[in-house]
Structure 1
Amino acid sequence: MRTLAIGDIHGQRQMLDQLLSRVGPKASDQLVFLGDYVDRGPDSKGVIQRVREWVDRGSAVALRGNHEVMLLEARHSPDYAESWRRYGGIDTLASYAPAYREGSMSDIPQVDIDFLEQTCRPYFETGTHIFVHAGVSPSLPMEEQDDLWLYWEKLNDPTAHHSGKIVICGHTHQRSGMPLDCMHTICIDTWAYSPTGWLTCLDVHSGEYWQVNAAGQSRRDWLDPYESRHRSE
């Protein structure tokens, strides 16, 4: 069984479909989506529907990202809604609206709201790894982490989590298009919404990763040196 983490998608449904086709997840594999399904890309609606399909099959865990947090908060505050629109919310609303008019929050079906609010998780933890959208406070157990760490903090010289588990995260986009490997923390937000960015899927046990970009190109590589970290598992 592989455990496959997928970084920030940001409305790039075609890239997601291409990536999943390249990786070829099997029924025995565990997919973990790290959040930020919406905003900035052209098809947030399609991304949410695709992620929901995988979760409904029982083959995937979906985390909540800060852009999902913004979408949910935008329902309750006009000022917050305006800020969210500037950070890509306008693209999300457009993906739900008919082509002849601007989108509004009422265009998003309740089933998608419920998915983001109730099904998506703040983090996912296994015996060897912690999966989170943004990051973790190194000294706190996961049940005591606050939203600032889970959804908003950027990776600035990250410290190993006290559990010794490897943290797999997104949120801090890597303009190089390559995963950031800090040994104890691995970031796979490779700037999918940028014309020069990539969408990444990482096999967290082998270090193998796959990437696709908006031009339809794909590539495959391994984090190095990764095997030595897992030789004792």
Structure 2
Amino acid sequence: MNGRLIAIGDIHGFNQPLQTLLEAIDPTPEDLIVTLGDYVDRGPDSKGVIDTLIDLGRRTQLVALQGNHEEMMLSVIRGDEPHHAWLRYGGVETLESYDFDGEMDFLPPDHLAFFESLGDYFVHDQFFFTHAAYDPTLEMDQQPTELLRWHSLRAGIPDPHFSGRIAVVGHTAHPEAEILDVGHLICLDTNCYGGGLLTAMEFPSKRVWQSNPQGVLVR
């Protein structure tokens, strides 16, 4: 691959800092950008985030993973789960960004196609990417969805994966907006929705770009 490999942590409806990072990164068609999930909920502009990511996918190679918040939203839209849990964890803000009128088909067709295209994991060279965590003993295509999307690192950091690849994850927001790097695992959720930062990192160089929730580049 001639381009860069870059991952972006949990966005959670913060479109302005996402646009700030992308302007600083200036993606090319050769670059490969992996977004780690949780695009929606809690922040003010989930719809804008999806518009930005769809446009990004036209300009560069985008691999978008599914987070637990996308899982909750899709389960409600499909009628598989009641809406209460999703609304309690940020779904209200998402609905407001889409000017929700009471009908559950509120997603534009291109947004629904985007959500339905999301993957569970991505492997590239010496790295693999998931939203939350992994089982260190299993091949990636055998990983339980519960681990990939829901496991909090506060409940335990997985051991190194047997493949020797480095895990790049999100999901577990660092309260001090710091990147967690334990060698075999790097967590890029730096708590943007909680007043922290939105983080992007290039691999293997570990170059970092960060924006605060107001869209001001800080690194």
Render the CA deviation track for 1:130-182: whole Å, top value 9, x for unaligned: 01100110000000001111100011232101100000000000111111001
8 Å contact from structure 1 (residues 131, 167) kept in 2: yes
Distance 2:51 2:214 in 1: 23
Indicate the residue corresponding to 1:174 in structure 2: 174
Letter in 2 for 1:209: V
Indicate the residue corresponding to 2:69 in structure 1: 67
8 Å contact from structure 2 (residues 27, 59) kept in 1: no
Indicate the residue corresponding to 2:47 in structure 1: 45
Unpaired segments ≥5 residues, structure 1: 221-233
8 Å contact from structure 1 (residues 93, 104) kept in 2: no
Alignment of 1:85-96 (within 5 A): 85-96=87-98
Pairs aligned (count): 215
Letter in 2 for 1:73: S
Indicate the residue corresponding to 2:207 in structure 1: 208
Distance 2:58 2:26 in 1: 18
Distance 1:51 1:187 in 2: 21
Render the CA deviation track for 1:20-55: whole Å, top value 9, x for unaligned: 112222222111111100000011001011111222
Q: Percent identity?
A: 42
SS of 2:114's partner is: helix
Indicate the residue corresponding to 1:105 in structure 2: 104
Distance 1:26 1:57, change over 3 A: closer
Letter in 1 for 2:109: Q
Unpaired segments ≥5 residues, structure 2: none
Please report how far the alpha carbon of residue 185 of structure 1 lies from its aligned counterpart in structure 2 after TM superposition.
0.3
Runs of 4+ in structure 1 off by over 4 angstroms are none
Indicate the residue corresponding to 1:229 in structure 2: none
Distance 2:86 2:158 in 1: 27
8 Å contact from structure 1 (residues 39, 92) kept in 2: yes
* TM-score, normalised relative to structure 2: 0.92
8 Å contact from structure 1 (residues 93, 105) kept in 2: no
| Higher relative contact order (Cα pairs below 8 Å, separated by 6+ residues) | 2
Alignment of 1:1-233 (within 5 A): 1-77=3-79, 80-97=82-99, 104-117=103-116, 119-155=117-153, 156-195=156-195, 197-220=196-219
Distance 1:184 1:160 in 2: 6
